[in-house]
Structure 1
Amino acid sequence: MKMEILSKGNKGQTIIILTGMGCSFDEWYNITKVLSQTNRVVMFHRPGLGESEIRNGNETRNTQAVVNELLELLTVLEITEPIILVGHSYGGLCAQHFVKTHPQKVAGIVLVDSTSVDLQELDQLHLPVLDEDETDEDWLEKCNSYSSMEEEQLKRILNPTIPEELKSIPEEIQQRLLDFQIKPSLYKAMHSEISNWKQDAKIIKSLETTINVPLIVLGRDKEFNIKLGKQDGLPEGELIIFEEKWQELINRQVNLSNDSKIVFVRGASHSIHINRPGIIIQIISEIVNKHT
C-alpha cells in the first residue's frame, strides 16, 4: 500500500508531526522549513489523505491504525532513537495513543489543541444552534456524501481556499493544498475516523500510563474563538459554554506526563500551526533542547 511521506532535514533530532483530521501536512510548510534546518522532520498522510492509498473495502481508520503505521514508518526509515512527537487535533489523540503504548520510543511530546480522551463530554453540552450541523452524525452524513462524488463536483460544492497566512508559501504547495481538499478518499477516511474516535478515546483513557518525558500542551485562545464565532453569527452564550469546556479538556492533558506544562496561545484558533507558526517552532525547539 502506497503512503505519502514528507521528510526534511537529515541531522539532529527526529521530529514526527501527526496532522489533524482532514488536514494536509503542507499546512505545516512554514514550520517544517525552519525546524528542518537543525532537525529531521517527518510527516505522513494517513491512508485516504493526499496520495496515500486507502483500501476499497471497509478499512478501519482509528488511532490504533495510526499507531501501527507510525511504528512501520520508524522501521522503514530506520529511526531507532526516541522521537519528538507532535500531534494537532485528531493527530494529538493519535499521539496520546502512541506515547501510552510505546513510551520508550518517545523523547518528548507536544499536543497542539489536541482532541481530548474525554471528547464525549462536548456532546453533553446544551448547544442547540452550534449543534445544528456540527454533530458527529452531521459530519458522517457529509463525509458519506462527499466520498461518493467526483473531484469536479467536490470542487464546486466546497470551493476550497487557502488561509491568508499560507498565501506566501510556494504556489505549487498552495495548489497541493487545494487539490487535497477535493479528493473523495479524504472523506472516506474521515468518515471512518469520526466513526471510531469516541471508542478510541475510551481505549486511550483506559491505558493508565503516566509518561516521564517532557510534554507541552498548547491550547487555542478562548476569547479569540468566541469573537470569531460571533462574527459568524453564532450565539455568544453557546460559544462561551463550548470554549470553556474545550479549555477544561485541554487543561486535563497535562496529566499525561510527570513533566508537563500548558500554554494557551493568544490570537490562535484551532489551527494554531497556521495562525501562530512561530509559537509552534519555539515550543518544539524547547522540547528538542530539553532532550539534547
Structure 2
Amino acid sequence: MSKISQLLMINQNKIEILQKGQNGTPIIILTGMGCSFDEWYEVTESLSKTNRVIMFHRPGLGASEIRNEVRNTQTVVNEVNEMIHLLKLSEPVVLVGHSYGGLCVQHFVKKHPEKVAGIVLVDSTSVDLKVLDDLNLPVLNEGATDEFWMEKCRSYSQMKREELREVINPTLTKKQKLLPNDIQKRIMNFQINPSLYKAMYSEISNWKRDGDIIKNLVVYPDIPLIVISRDKEHNIKLGTMEGLPEWELRLFEEKWQELIMNQVNLTSNSKFIIAQGASHSIHFDRPDIIVQSINKINSFFN
C-alpha cells in the first residue's frame, strides 16, 4: 500500500494532496468545511486496501496556500478538475462528499458528469440550505448564524498561530485520541491556522448562493448514488444533554433529514441510509457505513 502526501500546483496555489493505495477505481473524498483530511484516517486506511484514495486540503486548509480568490463551490470544482488532470486519472472516479464537501460534489457532477462513476453524499449540505434560516430556533440560532460565524472567522484569520492556540484551546475527542500520534498532532495544529478561517469566511459567504447556482444547472447524470444521513434521534439526545430545548432540536433535525432525503431524488439509481448512532461527523462515529457505501458503489461497475 502506498501513502503519499505531496504538494501540487493547482490554479496558482500549492495544494496539499493525500494519496493512499494504488489499485481499483480512484476515490476522491471532499471534506467538510474547516475539516482536515486526517480526520478520515480510518476510512482511507480501509479503502486503500482495494482502491486508490485521494484527498486534498482546499486552499487555506493544512499546508495548502490561499491567496485572495473567492472560495466557493465553483472554485472547488475547478480545483478538483485540475487535480484529476495532474494526477492523470483517465477513468471516471467515485466522488465522496461530507457536509460542505458534499455541496461541492453536487456541483462537480453537474459540471463534469463524464468524469464521475458514482457518488456518496455523507450528511451533505443541501442546495436548499437557506430554508434552515426560516426555522424559528431562538436558542439554537444564538451564536450560530452565518453572520456570527463569518465575524468569528474574520477575527480568527487576523490572529497569529499562538494567539489562536490560546483562544481556541484545541482538544481531541475520545475517538481522535485513538488515532496514530502523528495524525493527532496534525489535527491539533490544523485548527490553529489563521488561513483556515480566511477560507471558511469566504466559503460561508457564498454557500447559499452556490446552492441556488447548483440547482439551476443541468440535471444529474443517472449514476449510482448513496445518500447517508446522520441519526436524527441520536443528535436530539446529544443536544438535550447539553441543555438545548428539545422542540428546537427536533424542528431542526427533522428539516435537516428532509433535505438529506431529497438528495435521493437526484438520480433514479440511488439509496438512502441512516447512520445509526452517528452525529454529523459520520466519518468518526460510523466509518464502517461510509466504507460499505463506497464499496457498494464500486460493485456497480467492477
Q: TM-score range, shorter-chain basis?
A: over 0.9
Unaligned runs of 5+ in 1: none
Per the TM alignment, residue 13 of structure 1 is displaced from its structure 2 partner at its CA by 1.0
Match of 2:110 among 79, 100, 107: 100
Kindly indicate whether the alpha-carbon contact (under 8 Å) linking 1:5 and 1:45 is maintained by their aligned counterparts in 2.
yes
Letter in 2 for 1:280: I
Moved more, 109-118 or 227-236: 227-236
Match in the other structure for 1:226: 236
Give, in whole Å, the separation in 2 of the partners of 1:42 and 1:163. 25
The reply to whether residue 154 of structure 1 matches residue 172 of structure 2 is: no
Kindly indicate whether the alpha-carbon contact (under 8 Å) linking 1:211 and 1:258 is maintained by their aligned counterparts in 2.
no
Moved more, 206-215 or 269-278: 206-215
Give, in whole Å, the separation in 2 of the partners of 1:272 and 1:234. 22
Structure 1 residues 134-149: aligned runs within 5 Å: 134-149=144-159
Per the TM alignment, residue 163 of structure 1 is displaced from its structure 2 partner at its CA by 2.0
1:136-187 CA deviation, whole Å, 9 max, x = no partner?
0000010000000111111111111122112222101100000000000000
Match in the other structure for 1:30: 42
Match in the other structure for 2:20: 8
Stretches (4+) displaced over 3 A: none
The reply to whether residue 116 of structure 1 matches residue 126 of structure 2 is: yes
Give, in whole Å, the separation in 2 of the partners of 1:256 and 1:248. 14
Structure 1 residues 54-65: aligned runs within 5 Å: 54-55=66-67, 58-65=68-75
Per the TM alignment, residue 25 of structure 1 is displaced from its structure 2 partner at its CA by 0.2
Percent identity at matched positions?
64
Kindly indicate whether the alpha-carbon contact (under 8 Å) linking 1:18 and 1:95 is maintained by their aligned counterparts in 2.
yes
Give, in whole Å, the separation in 1 of the partners of 2:139 and 2:176. 31
The reply to whether residue 53 of structure 1 matches residue 65 of structure 2 is: yes
Give, in whole Å, the separation in 1 of the partners of 2:276 and 2:40. 19
CA RMSD, Structure 1 to Structure 2 (Å):
0.7
Name which structure has the greater RCO, CA cutoff 8 Å, separation 6+.
Answer: 1
Letter in 2 for 1:276: R
1:70-94 CA deviation, whole Å, 9 max, x = no partner?
0100010000100000000000000
Give, in whole Å, the separation in 1 of the partners of 2:257 and 2:25. 31
Per the TM alignment, residue 191 of structure 1 is displaced from its structure 2 partner at its CA by 0.1
Normalised TM-score (structure 1): 0.98
Normalised TM-score (structure 2): 0.95
Letter in 2 for 1:73: M
Kindly indicate whether the alpha-carbon contact (under 8 Å) linking 1:220 and 1:270 is maintained by their aligned counterparts in 2.
yes
Letter in 1 for 2:238: L
Give, in whole Å, the separation in 2 of the partners of 1:14 and 1:161. 33
Per the TM alignment, residue 291 of structure 1 is displaced from its structure 2 partner at its CA by 1.8
1:111-134 CA deviation, whole Å, 9 max, x = no partner?
000000000000000000101100
SS at match of 2:89: coil
Match in the other structure for 1:168: 178
Letter in 2 for 1:209: V
Letter in 1 for 2:60: G
Per the TM alignment, residue 51 of structure 1 is displaced from its structure 2 partner at its CA by 0.2
